[in-house]
């Protein structure tokens, strides 16, 4: 597996989005010309004034890893941004009943808005049908960074409890650089096939150099194809875009459900605009105070915990492809499969063999959602029989590669945002090698892969404009943070930390498996979140759902 900084590829499970079967093809923000030279942009407005070195030794938990704090923006909208807040959206049908689409303009650079450089962002909504008093708009974002909020909206509009969707206009904007909103591009599909197959458990210097070479090629491709854009796709930029949309939708305050990385986007909004916070649900929370390195290590541990849960479930089943003795033995068998794929990739019925990299990605993809565990068991059974096709299918779902070989821009946007938001976890193969013992301790089965997969930002053509910082959002209305104890992608300790940082944070705990919790089958979680979204009622302290 060689995803672009996968340890921050944090999104709602693709298996859930896929079941909607909808496509808002008429929702498009167009494309931005990427011919300008790349330069390092100034730190975005609202960033902390001091940028201390990231703490690479801290562990996630209630105590943040940095003392820097995100500063709010002035409450008054600057005069040079007034035209963006006063534009009129032209809504039109976009191919799916009851959905409307529009395009909104935002400045490429909020510090230096120039109309000729404006970005066009795709927006979609479906109106509340009642009964009951309308509560305004509810923006949603599934995470990533790089996940399409408009695609997720199609799930949320029907998958969220009707008590909520009947009272809110459900709305979304694909963030800048993502999907329909001026997408970042980096590689051809054929190049991406090669990139995803690069061995991220290198056995020698030559293989390590191939990892670094692949990352350099990826970064150079982003510079070549998206030069004008990649310096302006930070989370702070996207949070400011959401404030423009809030105004255009006619809402005095932002109501929002963010999943996974979407929690970082929502928390950043709260830090920048605390006075405009309505009801914010941050589900599968990230900790904005930790460094990229610590984030990568912690997520490696999260996937290890998730695999342990899968293995304990698997060994109880008659068809478990990893044996029926113990979870520890199941892990040993998984390692043996990976080692075999490293030496002898499996046929898949396509021109692409299942390499160790792709096989590992397939397993990781299934860790996001326990609903995918049966598919993983079946894929491992097939692999044991010499057929790598089902595991390759899981890997392709992770990368959003369709059957025709076309990739979405998920991974390109993911790298562009991550590498702008935080200084790199590693700057060289030597840095990765030094960190391997800690990663392997955190995750014996996935640690090596996740460490090497975190090298991409070390070769990025721009310096990061962000850094780890606390988000307090002083003066904001109550904010609901949801954490899942065995979440593979966003460790539960991050939810504890974010809720503690936010001056008005309230933690809701789900003692369960999978990535994120709301609208995913827990009546207890849904009841608590609904009470907050509908009436502003926060759960009691230490509320835990099972």
Quick one: 271 and 399 in the same domain?
Answer: no
* Catalytic residue flag (residue 515): yes
Quick one: 455 and 498 in the same domain?
Answer: no
- The dihedral region occupied by 96, where left means phi > 0, alpha psi between -120 and 50, and beta the remainder, is beta
Domain tally, the chain: 2
Quick one: 96 and 150 in the same domain?
Answer: yes
Residue 81 lies in a domain: yes
What angle is formed at CA 420 by the lines to CA 223 and CA 477, rounded to 5 degrees?
145
Select which of 226, 238, 260, 397 is catalytic: 260
* Catalytic residue flag (residue 421): no
- pLDDT for 129 equals 85
Residue 106 lies in a domain: yes
Is the separation of the CB atoms in 150 and 18 below 8 Å? Answer: no
* Catalytic residue flag (residue 428): no
- pLDDT for 11 equals 57
Residue 349 lies in a domain: yes
Note the pTM of the prediction, 2 decimals. 0.91
Residue 46 lies in a domain: no
- Domain residues for the domain of 267 are 58-183+255-287+468-545
Three-state SS at 479:
strand
Interatomic CA distance for residues 403 and 537, integer angstroms: 45
Residue 2 lies in a domain: no
Quick one: 370 and 441 in the same domain?
Answer: yes
Residue 428 lies in a domain: yes
CA 440 to chain centre: 23
* Residue-level pLDDT, tens digit, the chain, 546 residues: 333 444 445 556 654 444 333 445 446 555 544 333 332 232 333 333 222 333 333 333 345 467 799 999 999 999 999 999 999 999 999 988 899 999 999 999 999 999 999 999 999 999 998 888 999 999 999 999 999 999 999 999 999 999 999 999 999 999 999 999 999 999 999 999 999 999 999 999 999 999 999 999 999 999 999 999 999 999 999 999 999 999 999 999 999 999 999 999 999 999 999 999 999 999 999 999 999 999 999 999 999 999 999 999 999 999 999 999 999 999 999 999 999 999 999 999 999 999 999 999 999 999 999 999 999 999 999 999 999 999 999 999 999 999 999 999 999 999 999 999 999 999 999 999 999 999 999 999 999 999 999 999 999 999 999 999 999 999 999 999 999 999 999 999 999 999 999 999 999 999 999 999 999 999 999 999 999 999 999 999 999 999
- pLDDT for 42 equals 29
Select which of 32, 193, 515, 522 is catalytic: 515
Quick one: 80 and 152 in the same domain?
Answer: yes
Quick one: 220 and 320 in the same domain?
Answer: yes
Quick one: 103 and 175 in the same domain?
Answer: yes
Q: Which of 432, 459, 486 is the last residue of a domain?
A: 459
- pLDDT for 72 equals 98
Q: Which of 413, 436, 459 is the last residue of a domain?
A: 459
Interatomic CA distance for residues 119 and 422, integer angstroms: 23
Quick one: 367 and 391 in the same domain?
Answer: yes
Quick one: 73 and 173 in the same domain?
Answer: yes
- pLDDT tens for 361-390 read 999 999 999 999 999 999 999 999 999 999
Kindly give the pairing relationship between strand 119-126 and strand 100-106: antiparallel
Quick one: 420 and 520 in the same domain?
Answer: no
Interatomic CA distance for residues 176 and 183, integer angstroms: 7
The DSSP result for 331-343, as a single string, is HHHHHHHHHHHHH
Interatomic CA distance for residues 366 and 306, integer angstroms: 10
Is the separation of the CB atoms in 283 and 259 below 8 Å? Answer: yes
- pLDDT tens for 421-471 read 999 999 999 999 999 999 999 999 999 999 999 999 999 999 999 999 999
Quick one: 444 and 526 in the same domain?
Answer: no
- pLDDT for 27 equals 61
b (16+ CB within 10 A) / e for 431-440 = bbeebeebbb
Select which of 487, 504, 506, 526 is catalytic: 487
Residue 31 lies in a domain: no
Residue 25 lies in a domain: no
Tell me, what CATH number does 112's domain have?
Answer: 3.40.50
Quick one: 151 and 128 in the same domain?
Answer: yes
């Amino acid at each position: 597996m060689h995803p672009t900084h996968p340890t921050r590829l944090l999104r709602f499970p693709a298996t859930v989005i896929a079941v909607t079967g909808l496509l808002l093809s008429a929702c498009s923000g167009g494309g931005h010309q990427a011919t300008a030279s790349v330069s390092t942009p100034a730190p975005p407005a609202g960033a902390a004034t001091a940028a201390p070195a990231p703490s690479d030794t801290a562990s996630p938990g209630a105590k943040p890893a940095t003392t820097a704090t995100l500063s709010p923006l002035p409450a008054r909208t600057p005069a040079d941004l007034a035209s963006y807040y006063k534009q009129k959206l032209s809504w039109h049908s976009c191919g799916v009943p009851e959905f409307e689409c529009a395009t909104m303009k935002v400045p490429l650079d909020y510090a230096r808005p120039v109309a000729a450089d404006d970005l066009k962002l795709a927006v979609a909504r479906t109106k509340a049908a009642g009964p009951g008093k309308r509560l305004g708009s509810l923006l949603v974002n599934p995470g990533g960074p790089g996940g399409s909020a408009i695609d997720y909206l199609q799930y949320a509009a029907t998958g969220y409890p009707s008590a909520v969707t009947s009272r809110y206009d459900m709305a979304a904007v694909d963030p800048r650089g993502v999907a329909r909103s001026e997408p970042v591009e980096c590689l051809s599909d054929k190049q991406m096939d090669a990139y995803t197959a690069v061995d991220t458990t290198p056995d020698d210097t030559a293989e390590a150099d191939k990892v670094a070479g692949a990352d350099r090629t990826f970064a150079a491709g982003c510079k070549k194809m998206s030069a004008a854009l990649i310096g302006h796709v930070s989370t702070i930029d996207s949070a400011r875009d959401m404030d423009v949309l809030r105004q255009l939708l006619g809402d005095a305050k932002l109501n929002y459900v963010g999943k996974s990385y979407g929690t970082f986007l929502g928390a950043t909004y709260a830090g920048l605009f605390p006075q405009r916070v309505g009801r914010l649900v941050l589900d599968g929370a990230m900790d904005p105070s930790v460094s990229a390195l610590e984030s990568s290590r912690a997520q490696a541990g999260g996937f290890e915990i998730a695999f342990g849960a899968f293995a304990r479930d698997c060994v109880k089943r008659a068809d478990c492809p990893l044996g029926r003795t113990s979870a520890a033995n199941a892990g040993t068998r998984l390692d043996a499969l990976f080692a075999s794929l490293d030496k002898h990739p499996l046929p898949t019925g396509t021109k692409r063999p299942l390499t160790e990299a792709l096989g590992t990605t397939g397993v990781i993809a299934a860790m996001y959602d326990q609903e995918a565990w049966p598919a993983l068991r079946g894929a491992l059974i097939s692999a044991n029989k010499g057929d790598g096709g089902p595991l390759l299918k899981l890997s392709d779902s992770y990368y959003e590669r369709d059957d025709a070989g076309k990739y979405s821009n998920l991974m390109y946007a993911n790298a562009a945002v991550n590498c702008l938001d935080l200084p790199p976890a590693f700057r060289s193969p030597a840095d990765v090698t030094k960190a391997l013992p800690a990663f392997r301790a955190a995750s014996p089965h996935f640690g090596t892969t996740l460490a090497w997969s975190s090298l991409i930002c070390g070769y990025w053509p721009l310096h990061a404009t962000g850094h780890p910082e606390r988000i307090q959002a002083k003066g904001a209305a109550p904010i609901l943070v949801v954490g899942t104890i065995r979440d593979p992608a966003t460790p539960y300790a991050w939810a504890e930390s974010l809720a503690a940082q936010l001056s008005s944070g309230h933690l809701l705990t789900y003692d369960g498996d999978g990535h994120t919790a709301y609208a995913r089958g827990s009546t207890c979680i849904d009841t608590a979140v609904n009470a907050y979204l509908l009436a502003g009622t926060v759960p009691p302290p230490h509320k835990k759902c099972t």
